[in-house]
Amino acid sequence: MTARGGTEPASALPVLQERLAAVLETARQAWPGVALEGPRFAAHLARLVPADGDEAAWGKLHMVDVYLARAAADGLPAALATFEARLMPEVDAAVARLKLPAAGLDEVRQLLRQRMLVGSADAPARLAAYPGTGPLAGWVRAAALWLALDWQRQRSGQAQSEDGDLSMLVAPGDDPELAYLKQTYRAEFSASFTAALAALSARQRNFLRLKYLDGLGIDQLGALYGVHRSTAARWVVGAQEELLDGTRQRLTERLRLTRSQLDSVLRLISSQLDVSLSRLLRTHSE
């Protein structure tokens, strides 16, 4: 096996060959009947494992999933059948709570097959790009969710179920599809938050800065403005609620999500970024 950018030293070849043989054996036992050729698999791994990759680098990859993904991307019939039987049910599980109509679910499944297994003139089968850093099932689920959300956005004029839920997104994982989904929502949330903050009155922004950035307590705020602490508390809560409501409203408009879906997106963002009002205000402070 050769690594990216060159040939392994002769002394390393026996170790690499031993690792490859062990991985091939494990993968073929995991996926009976899927017979990807060893040299083809070795060439694929050479693109995934760093040139100086040691055993730890190998250990981070979900090798049996990489094997299946490469075989399915190559169109091996047994691999395609395995993908259909073992991984396509992940699509149904991932989008079930979105409550797509039957026609929508069928379309998402077909789009996922096209994207993952066939590709196009401009983009090869997506499975060929699976990096192996997270479980293949999670990677497929994230792709299915993205396709389902896109399907909903394109048909936003139609009624959408208020019971839709994106809670599957909260599952941990570091695969590129899920990371892209999170990054998309973070960018949309940041833009919505900035717009909502700008829409507050100067006095409301000042309340929030004094409390969350300068650390003033309610009693101190009351003394500063010459009002009772309950009045100061009411002002702060009112500004905070208007800011968050404005953020939700703008995020809903940007993503065209139902209320329950929006709540799940906000949970996803907060679970990964530890979103707090003080941190956001500090980021967007004038």
The per-residue pLDDT for 64 is: 94
Query: What's the pLDDT tens digit per position in 131-160?
Result: 887 788 888 887 888 788 778 777 764 433
pLDDT band, residue 166 (cuts 50/70/90): very low
Residue 168 pLDDT > 50, yes or no? no
Question: Closest by alpha carbon to 255, among 245, 266, 244?
Answer: 266
Residue 102 pLDDT > 80, yes or no? yes
**Where in the chain are the domains?**
16-154, 176-283
**Between 191 and 231, residue with greater pLDDT:** 231
pLDDT band, residue 25 (cuts 50/70/90): very high
Question: Closest by alpha carbon to 268, among 132, 145, 87, 130?
Answer: 145
pLDDT band, residue 276 (cuts 50/70/90): low
| Rg value, the chain, Cα | 25
Query: What's the pLDDT tens digit per position in 196-223?
Result: 888 988 888 888 888 877 677 788 888 7
Return all residues near 199 (Cβ < 8 A) that are at least 6 apart: 246
The per-residue pLDDT for 14 is: 67
The per-residue pLDDT for 264 is: 64
What mean pLDDT is predicted for residues 63-78? 94
**Poorest-pLDDT segment among 26-40, 72-86, 118-132:** 118-132
The per-residue pLDDT for 253 is: 78
Share of residues in the chain with pLDDT > 90 (%): 19
The per-residue pLDDT for 243 is: 83
Q: How far apart are CA 66 and CA 222, in angstroms?
A: 61
**Poorest-pLDDT segment among 60-69, 95-104, 147-156, 194-203:** 147-156
Calculate the average pLDDT of the chain: 75
Query: What's the pLDDT tens digit per position in 107-127?
Result: 999 999 998 898 766 667 888
Residue 278 pLDDT > 70, yes or no? no
The per-residue pLDDT for 226 is: 81
Q: How far apart are CA 189 and CA 255, in angstroms?
A: 10
**Between 284 and 99, residue with greater pLDDT:** 99
Residue 70 pLDDT > 80, yes or no? yes
Residue 33 pLDDT > 50, yes or no? yes
Task: Specify the pTM.
Answer: 0.55
**Between 11 and 98, residue with greater pLDDT:** 98
The per-residue pLDDT for 173 is: 45
